Amino acid sequence: MFMDYIEVSLILPILQPTKDEFIKFLVRSFYGMQDNEYLMENDEEAIRLDIKTDDMIVKKQALWAGIKPGMHVADICFGSGKTTAVLYKLVQPNGTVIGVDGSEKAVEYAKKHYGTKGIEFKCKNILKPFDELGTFDLVWVRFVLEYYRAESFEIVKNISKLVKPGGILCLIDLDHNSLNYFGLPQRLERTIFAAMKVIEEKANFDPYAGRKLYSFLYDLDYQDIDVDIASHHRIFGKLKDKDAFNWKKKIEVLSQKIDLKFEEYKEGYRGFIAEFDRFFTDPRRFTYTPIILCKGFKPVR
């Protein structure tokens, strides 16, 4: 850590980073995350994504985005590869899909479970240039920008280079992410909101990514932009196994990676989890997160 400060004081005048780049450097120095490390990265992430992804919903979203048979599509940060497989079916006959993800484990999982002729899975960091990938009729980016609060617009600018002139860029993300509940005990509510603030500030997470998507396409001069809003994480009644697994895993991974405080609970994390579990398994509880879809056509110049 001490070395980081010496190094940064030497290189700052040379690199002249922007304010966001400098904040990112400090955050990652303090919290020990590797540069570009995906917040949810862990050995079971591809399985978590596979279980929670509903292919009928992906299909509905992709049709809204304007996917058509014969298209050449890029699925950016594909996760388990399930979304890529849905997109592939929708571009048949004659269409192709390339899935890009920064995790070797994700690529391995996707090739094993969804690999087929016409789908290519590549390991690639979206924070780096995409030069060799070519251009696409539709570029699809779902649940990605929320992990990069400081860089989201720069990422969209980089990804936009993959869209053919006249092609479609579709951005999908959550808004007010995991912050809407009815039936929460007050102490639990305070703890969840405080934890989200810490995750936002210390781990570059953006619980409000959804509401920014329109401005990204607008600022990049996309044409005929359209926006749709639906509900995600809509949970009521008997808890489904897939929701139980997804939320348990999210809380477990986040509390391992980030130093969250559970000060209102005598038993700390264990007390918090026990109370969250009681709330979450109660069929009377209600929770949802808005999901915002935004699409536009790249200008033909």
Ligand X SMILES: C[S@@+](CC[C@H](N)C(=O)[O-])C[C@H]1O[C@@H](n2cnc3c(N)ncnc32)[C@H](O)[C@@H]1O
Q: Which of 126, 159, 163, 196 binds ligand X (CB under 6 A)?
A: 126
| Cα-based distances in Å from 26 to 3, 19, 22, 53, 207 | 13, 11, 6, 34, 20
- Per CB under 6 A, the segment of 22-30, 96-104, 174-182, 225-233 that binds ligand X is 96-104
Q: How far is the CB of 260 from ligand X (least distance, A)?
A: 20
* x/- track of binding to ligand X for residues 22-51 (CB under 6 A): --------------x-x----------x--
Q: Does 144 bind ligand X (CB under 6 A)?
A: yes
Q: Which of 106, 162, 171, 188 binds ligand X (CB under 6 A)?
A: 106
Which H, E and C letters describe the chain, residue by residue? CHHHHHHHHHHHHHHCCCHHHHHHHHHHHHHCCCCCCCCCCCCCHHHHHHHHCCHHHHHHHHHHHCCCCCCEEEEECCCCCHHHHHHHHHCCCCCEEEEEECCHHHHHHHHHHHCCCCEEEEECCCCCCCHHHCCEEEEEEECCHHHCCCCHHHHHHHHHCCEEEEEEEEEEEECCCCCCEECCCHHHHHHHHHHHHHHHHHHCCCCCCHHHHHHHHHHCCCEEEEEEEEEEEEECCCCCHHHHHHHHHHHHHHHHHCCCCCCCCCCCHHHHHHHHHHHHHCCCCEEEEEEEEEEEECCCC
- Amino acid 180 reads N
For residues 163 and 184, which CB has a smaller minimum distance to ligand X in the complex?
163
Q: Does 101 bind ligand X (CB under 6 A)?
A: yes
Q: Does 116 bind ligand X (CB under 6 A)?
A: no
Q: Does 103 bind ligand X (CB under 6 A)?
A: yes
Q: How far is the CB of 141 from ligand X (least distance, A)?
A: 7
For residues 61 and 287, which CB has a smaller minimum distance to ligand X in the complex?
61
Q: How far is the CB of 183 from ligand X (least distance, A)?
A: 26
- Per CB under 6 A, the segment of 19-27, 141-149, 238-246, 263-271 that binds ligand X is 141-149
Q: Does 142 bind ligand X (CB under 6 A)?
A: yes
Q: Which of 83, 160, 204, 287 binds ligand X (CB under 6 A)?
A: 83
For residues 107 and 188, which CB has a smaller minimum distance to ligand X in the complex?
107
Q: Does 102 bind ligand X (CB under 6 A)?
A: yes
For residues 36 and 281, which CB has a smaller minimum distance to ligand X in the complex?
36
Q: Does 61 bind ligand X (CB under 6 A)?
A: no
Residues that bind ligand X (CB under 6 A): 36, 38, 49, 53, 77-79, 83, 101-103, 106, 125-127, 142-144, 147
